[in-house]
Amino acid sequence: MSGTDGTRRSMILAETVNGLTPVLLAFSIFLTFRGHNAPGGGFAGGLVMAAAVILRYLASGPEAVRSLRIDPIVLIGAGLALAALVGTWPLLDGGEFLESSIWKFHPPLIGEMKLVSSSLFDIGVHVLVVGVVMAVLVAFVEADDEVARANAAREELRSNAGHDDASGDPGTTTSGGER
């Protein structure tokens, strides 16, 4: 299997990563939400999700990143905006900047559910970290494309020249033969 940049890729790795991706995504979200009470958190969660994206890139090449159709700058902006919004929200209520609010629900069957506003802050961090790593990745993809384009152009030049030589020589001989 070969990527657009002409390097060989392992099908086994690609299939493994395909299977692994949902697990990694679920784990990253789990890490982020778990962080409030146990080791984890938005930064770690974001890094795991970013690692999943990078893995897909390594397994399937630039297509893996391009097919996501997400502009990293949007992720970066959204993450930062969410975190800042969570911070300023309490001010409207006369609270302090970044003051936590704790909401408790009692949905049926599950029992008590607790939601803390700082979890939203962590989600912002998570999204932002994914965005930043993706931005770096996109930089590499662009570099790959550039190399590929340059190679293609060189290839075209060479084949054009070769084609000219190939078609030119018989041309002259043919005309000579006709004469």
Partner 1 sequence: MIPLLLAHLVAFLVCLAPGRRSARWALPVAAAVPAVTFGWLVSQSSSVLHGDVPSANLEWVPQLGLGISLRLDGFGLFMGLIVSGIGTLVMLYSTAYFGRRDDLGRLAGLLVGFAGAMLGIVWADGLLSLFVFWELTSITSFLLIGFEDRSATARSAAQRAFLVTGLGGLALLAGLILLGIQGGTTSLSELLANPPSGTVTSVALVLVLAGAFTKSAQFPFHFWLPGAMAAPTPVSAYLHSATMVKAGLVVVARFAPAFASVGPWRALVVSAGLASLVLGGFRAMRQQDAKLALAHGTVSQLGFMMVLLGLGTPGTTYAGVAMLLAHALFKATLFLSVGVVDHSAGTRDMRRLQGLARALPITAGIIVVASASMAAIPPTLGFVAKEKALDALLDTGLGAIGTVALVGIVAGSVLTVAYTIRIAVGLLGNDAPGVTVEDGARGGSGTGALLEAPVDPSGVHAPSLAFQGAPFVLAALSLVLGIAAEPVGHWLAEVTVSLDPATASKALHLWTGVNTPLVLSAGIITAGIASWWFTVAATRSVDAPYSTATRLYDRAYDSLLAGARQVTAVSQSGSLPLYIGVVLVSVGAALATALLAGSTDAISDVPWANSSLEVPLVALTALLALAVLGARQRFTAAVLLGGSGYMLAIVYLLQGAPDLAITQFLVETLTIVVFLLALARLPRDFHPAPSWAPRWIRIVVSVVVGLTVAGFALGTSQSRTAESVGDDYLALSEPEAGGRNVVNVILVDFRGFDTLGEITVLAVAGAGVVNLVRAARRQQRRKQLSDGLEVEERSGRPSEVWR
Q: Applying CB under 8 A, which residues contact partner 1?
A: 35-44, 47-48, 50-51, 54, 58, 72-73, 76-77, 79-80, 83-84, 87, 97-98, 100, 102, 114, 116, 118-119, 121-122, 124-125, 128-129, 131-133, 135-140, 142-143, 146, 149, 153, 156-157, 160-161, 164, 168, 171
Minimum distance from CB of 144 to partner 1 (Å)?
A: 9
Residues 17/55, Cβ–Cβ less than 8 Å? yes
Nearer to partner 1 among residue 97 and residue 108 (C-beta): 97
Nearer to partner 1 among residue 12 and residue 126 (C-beta): 126
Minimum distance from CB of 43 to partner 1 (Å)?
A: 6
Nearer to partner 1 among residue 104 and residue 179 (C-beta): 104
Minimum distance from CB of 112 to partner 1 (Å)?
A: 12
Minimum distance from CB of 11 to partner 1 (Å)?
A: 21
Nearer to partner 1 among residue 67 and residue 158 (C-beta): 158
Backbone angles phi, psi at 129, to 5 degrees: -60, -45
Residues 6/148, Cβ–Cβ less than 8 Å? yes
- Three-class SS string for 70-134? CCHHHHHHHHHHHHHHHHHHHHHCCCCCCCCCEEEECCCCCCCEEEEHHHHHHHHHHHHHHHHHH
Alpha-carbon distance of 21 to 65, in angstroms, equals: 13
Quickly count helices (H) and strands (E) in the chain: 5, 2
